[in-house]
């Protein structure tokens, strides 16, 4: 697919970004295992979330989607049916990990697979804690694999790496387990599962740094309004910060503090970002974000901020190219296990544009201020890499080609059209 975009002045506009991917997935899954009809508005119709709908339809769930509105007829905690075919999660790691938590406690066996990128993504981190709960899987460390449904028992588990997907898989399995499940995180990761489980009537509490889940007899269907995805808003905030003359306002963005690490990092760089009209929607904090062209300086980020901006590291790296001095990112080794090896992808692909980026064991070192020139680049079939390259290319001389740019449909159908409209 070829997209031709050029920028003569700054980016300007007031607009919304599509719904939050993490929240959209969770709304479908919890809707499917609750009693009654769940209505989701602002659903992200990206390929990943459609994979979640497809998988649950294959287990007998009726889902009706019209644009960003989805109705799910829940069959209750014990109403999923054995799928007739292999469950295919496509490119979606969130579907893969979270759904495995649900499948582990079903009274049937099934097989799960996904695309070539999914087949490389580590599953031991999910199989291990679920195995402690009594779950059984075929001997595999990634998809495809079989899940042999079992009766589960609650566990106490300290997550070795901060991962909302692993935490959520355990929490979803705990709905089918006997006794209490307690999870401890080394640093907090996104907590949408905890918030939404509470709304659906699960017995979930935070006590002394632990998340405690106790079984309930049923979950009750809810209406879920999905806020705009801050991981998608990130690209336009970044574009505005680096492009002279820009001012953009993105309305209705989810600003859950477990997701706002990028905003904190950009503010520290000197980014002019304003958070206004703060409100709460279904237990999730929501606000409007305004970003203007800014003079940026390099910073160092490490530790607890990383899980709060785990999906925004590629775009943060792109912004750092336009900051004065050096930016270093460490404690980001998890990026090697995403849709692509994002540390390598950003170092190599930004390098093709003339950027000075060094890949380290657990991060990146970026020297800002070098002029960029257009070049052929490769998205690595990773939506966040493609969008980050598109934003960096705005300020490059000449034209940039992003091969495989159609992968943006995973999380942001219409991304290039939105960018062009600004
Ligand atoms: C997600 C959690 C993160 C993130 C992914 C979505 C989620 O993964 O990278 O895009 O919805 O729970 P990890 O928790 O494995 O880091």
* pLDDT per residue as tens digits for the range 114-153: 999 999 999 999 999 999 999 999 999 999 999 999 999 9
Q: Give the full edge-to-edge strand order of the sheet including 145-148.
A: 87-88, 109-113, 145-148, 136-137
Q: Tell me if residue 166 falls in helix, strand or coil.
A: helix
CA of 163, closest atom in ligand 1 = 14
Q: Does ligand 1 have an atom closer than 6 angstroms to the CB of 341?
A: no
Predicted local distance difference test score (pLDDT) of residue 157: 98
CA of 193, closest atom in ligand 1 = 12
In this structure, of 1-15, 86-100, 353-367, 384-398, the range with the lowest mean pLDDT score is 1-15
pLDDT of residue 184 exceeding 80: yes
Better pLDDT: 203 or 3? 203
Hey, where are the domains in the chain?
2-19+227-421, 21-225
Average pLDDT on 386-404 reads: 97
Residue among 51, 129, 166, 190 to mutate when testing ligand 1 (max atoms within 8 A of CB): 190
6 Cα to the center of ligand 1, angstroms = 32
77 Cα to the center of ligand 1, angstroms = 24
Predicted local distance difference test score (pLDDT) of residue 355: 98
Q: Is 67 exposed, middle or buried (0-12, 13-18, 19+ CB in 10 A)?
A: exposed
373 Cα to the center of ligand 1, angstroms = 33
Topology (CATH level 3) of domain 2-19+227-421: UDP-n-acetylglucosamine1-carboxyvinyl-transferase; Chain (3.65.10)
CB 415 within 8 A of CB 238: no
Q: Does ligand 1 have an atom closer than 6 angstroms to the CB of 150?
A: no
Average pLDDT on 382-400 reads: 97
Predicted local distance difference test score (pLDDT) of residue 7: 54
Q: Does ligand 1 have an atom closer than 6 angstroms to the CB of 258?
A: no
Identical topology for domains 2-19+227-421 and 21-225:
yes
Q: Does ligand 1 have an atom closer than 6 angstroms to the CB of 99?
A: no
Q: Which two tokens stand for residue 209?
A: 């740094």
Predicted local distance difference test score (pLDDT) of residue 244: 97
CA of 25, closest atom in ligand 1 = 11
Pick the CATH number of 21-225 from 3.65.10.10, 3.40.190.10, 3.40.50.150, 3.20.20.300: 3.65.10.10
User: pLDDT (tens digit, 9 = 90+) per residue, 336-347?
Assistant: 999 999 999 999
Residue among 100, 117, 121, 310 to mutate when testing ligand 1 (max atoms within 8 A of CB): 310
Average pLDDT on 154-166 reads: 97
Measured from the Cβ of residue 37, the count of other Cβ atoms closer than 10 Å reads: 15
4 Cα to the center of ligand 1, angstroms = 31
Query: Predicted confidence band at 208 (pLDDT cuts at 50, 70, 90)?
Result: confident
Q: Is the N-terminal amide bond of 70 cis, ω within 30° of 0?
A: no
Predicted local distance difference test score (pLDDT) of residue 266: 98
Q: Does ligand 1 have an atom closer than 6 angstroms to the CB of 189?
A: yes
CA of 167, closest atom in ligand 1 = 14
Q: Does ligand 1 have an atom closer than 6 angstroms to the CB of 190?
A: yes
Query: Predicted confidence band at 6 (pLDDT cuts at 50, 70, 90)?
Result: low
Predicted local distance difference test score (pLDDT) of residue 4: 53
CB 184 within 8 A of CB 210: yes
Task: Give me the half-sphere count of Cα atoms (radius 13 Å) on the Cβ side of residue 215.
Answer: 17
Mean pLDDT of the chain: 97
Nearest to 285 by CA among 253, 255, 322: 255
pLDDT of residue 8 exceeding 60: no
371 Cα to the center of ligand 1, angstroms = 33
- DSSP state letters, 24-88: HHHHHHHHHTSEEEEEEES---SHHHHHHHHHHHTTT-EEEEETTEEEEEEE-TT-----SS-EE
Average pLDDT on 388-405 reads: 97
Residues 274 and 290: their CA atoms lie apart, in Å, by: 5
255 Cα to the center of ligand 1, angstroms = 16
Residue among 91, 118, 163, 305 to mutate when testing ligand 1 (max atoms within 8 A of CB): 163
Q: Does ligand 1 have an atom closer than 6 angstroms to the CB of 95?
A: no
Average pLDDT on 168-192 reads: 97
pLDDT of residue 9 exceeding 90: no
374 Cα to the center of ligand 1, angstroms = 31
168 Cα to the center of ligand 1, angstroms = 10
CB 266 within 8 A of CB 57: no
How many residues would you count in the chain? Answer: 422
Q: Does ligand 1 have an atom closer than 6 angstroms to the CB of 159?
A: no
Average pLDDT on 44-66 reads: 98
Q: Which of 311, 381, 382, 409 is catalytic?
A: 311
What Å distances lie between residue 389 and 172, 299, 334, 349, 350, CA to CA? 35, 21, 20, 8, 7
- Residue 193 sits at φ, ψ, to 5 deg, of -65, -45
User: pLDDT (tens digit, 9 = 90+) per residue, 261-289?
Assistant: 999 999 999 999 999 999 999 899 999 99
pLDDT of residue 178 exceeding 60: yes
Q: Does ligand 1 have an atom closer than 6 angstroms to the CB of 94?
A: yes
Q: Which two tokens stand for residue 326?
A: 């050096």
pLDDT of residue 190 exceeding 90: yes
311 is catalytic: yes
Average pLDDT on 150-171 reads: 97
Q: Does ligand 1 have an atom closer than 6 angstroms to the CB of 294?
A: no
Residues 387 and 204: their CA atoms lie apart, in Å, by: 36
Q: Does ligand 1 have an atom closer than 6 angstroms to the CB of 232?
A: no
pLDDT of residue 295 exceeding 90: yes
């Amino acid at each position: 697919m070829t997209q031709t975009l050029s920028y003569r002045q700054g980016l300007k506009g007031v607009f919304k970004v599509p719904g939050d991917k993490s929240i959209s997935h969770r709304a479908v899954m919890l809707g499917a295992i609750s009693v009654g009809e769940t209505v989701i508005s602002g659903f992200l119709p990206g390929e990943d979330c459609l994979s979640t709908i497809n998988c649950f339809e294959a287990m007998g769930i009726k889902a009706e989607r019209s644009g960003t509105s989805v109705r799910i007829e829940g069959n209750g905690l014990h109403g999923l049916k054995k799928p007739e075919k292999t469950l295919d999660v496509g490119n979606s790691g969130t579907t893969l990990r979270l759904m495995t938590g649900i499948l582990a406690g079903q009274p049937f066996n099934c097989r799960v697979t996904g695309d070539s990128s999914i087949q490389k993504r580590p599953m031991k981190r999910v199989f291990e804690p679920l195995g402690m709960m009594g779950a059984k899987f075929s001997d595999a460390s990634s998809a495809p694999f079989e899940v042999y449904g079992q009766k589960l028992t609650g566990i106490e588990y300290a997550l070795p790496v901060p991962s909302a997907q692993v935490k959520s898989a355990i929490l979803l399995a705990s709905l089918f387990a006997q006794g209490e499940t307690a999870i401890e995180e080394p640093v907090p990761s996104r907590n949408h599962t905890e918030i939404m489980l509470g709304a659906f009537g699960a017995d979930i509490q935070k006590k002394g740094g632990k998340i405690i889940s106790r079984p309930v007899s049923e979950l009750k269907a809810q209406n879920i309004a999905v806020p705009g995805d801050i991981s998608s808003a990130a690209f336009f905030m970044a574009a505005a910060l680096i492009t002279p003359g820009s001012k953009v306002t993105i309305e209705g963005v989810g600003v859950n503090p477990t997701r706002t690490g990028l905003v904190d990092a950009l503010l520290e760089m000197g980014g002019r970002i304003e958070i206004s009209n703060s409100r709460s929607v279904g237990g999730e904090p929501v606000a409007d974000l305004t970003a203007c062209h800014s003079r940026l300086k390099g910073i160092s980020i490490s530790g607890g901020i990383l899980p709060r901006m785990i999906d925004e590291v590629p775009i943060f790296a792109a912004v750092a190219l336009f900051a004065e001095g050096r930016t270093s990112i460490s404690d980001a080794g998890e990026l090697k296990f995403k849709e692509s090896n994002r540390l390598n992808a950003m170092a190599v692909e930004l390098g093709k544009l003339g950027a000075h980026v060094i890949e380290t064991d657990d991060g990146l070192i970026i020297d800002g201020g070098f002029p960029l020139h257009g070049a052929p680049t490769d998205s690595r079939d990773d939506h966040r890499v493609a969008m980050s390259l598109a934003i960096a290319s705005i300020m490059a001389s000449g034209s940039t080609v992003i091969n495989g740019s159609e992968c943006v449909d995973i999380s942001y159908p219409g991304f290039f059209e939105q960018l062009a409209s600004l």
